[in-house]
Structure 1
Amino acid sequence: MGQATFASHLNIENHQAIITREVDGGTQTICLPLPVVMTTDLRLNEPRYTSLPNIIKAKKKPIEQKALSDLCVDTRARLTVLNIEEPQSRQPGIKVANVVELVSALKKTSCI
């Protein structure tokens, strides 16, 4: 299943999603076969505000439930976690006000 992030424009043509997204220095257009998982940018669309009668109609509509097997999705794990470690603890840093204090601190730690 394809994925795209920060989509700012979307077209669906011939069972493919044509997604445009903004990247550093311009835009990028990618074409992915459906189904696609994507995240969107705020510029993709303007929100629609639902009227009260439509909200009431929606509450009365039945919700179709599907089994995972109906979606034809491979649910096997593709990654295996081998190990999880906490980062090594280290000494807290110090703040220096000027270059003289910086040089002094570096000399104390034998960095220079």
Structure 2
Amino acid sequence: AVVGYALAEDAIGLARFREKYAPLMTAEADKIAFDVASKPASGSSAEFAQIAKMAASVDTLDGFLREMKARFPDAMAKPAAESASGEHTAATLPEIAGLRRVGATR
């Protein structure tokens, strides 16, 4: 978020972000990176570019999915279903009562 605020030159967003998260940056490396990334008009510095590149490389979706799987193990994907011919197929969503399927034509 702070990288986005800096790139957008959003001084109010940066100030709010610094106010909220600066006290949490206790490790020296975190504090330095946070200070560089959250300074107004820092979007053009080489240090900022390095921090932005590092932030972009973090796979937040993967982390989110790992956490959700750990928190809700019963909600894991259902095993493949068996078709009428005995073949295993991917599970499909159940039909919705009263919904009519419409095909597209040219």
TM over 0.5: no
If the length of structure 2 is used for normalisation, what is the TM-score? 0.23
Give the structure with the higher percent helix: 2
Q: Which has the larger radius of gyration?
A: 1
If the length of structure 1 is used for normalisation, what is the TM-score? 0.22
Give the structure with the higher percent strand: 1
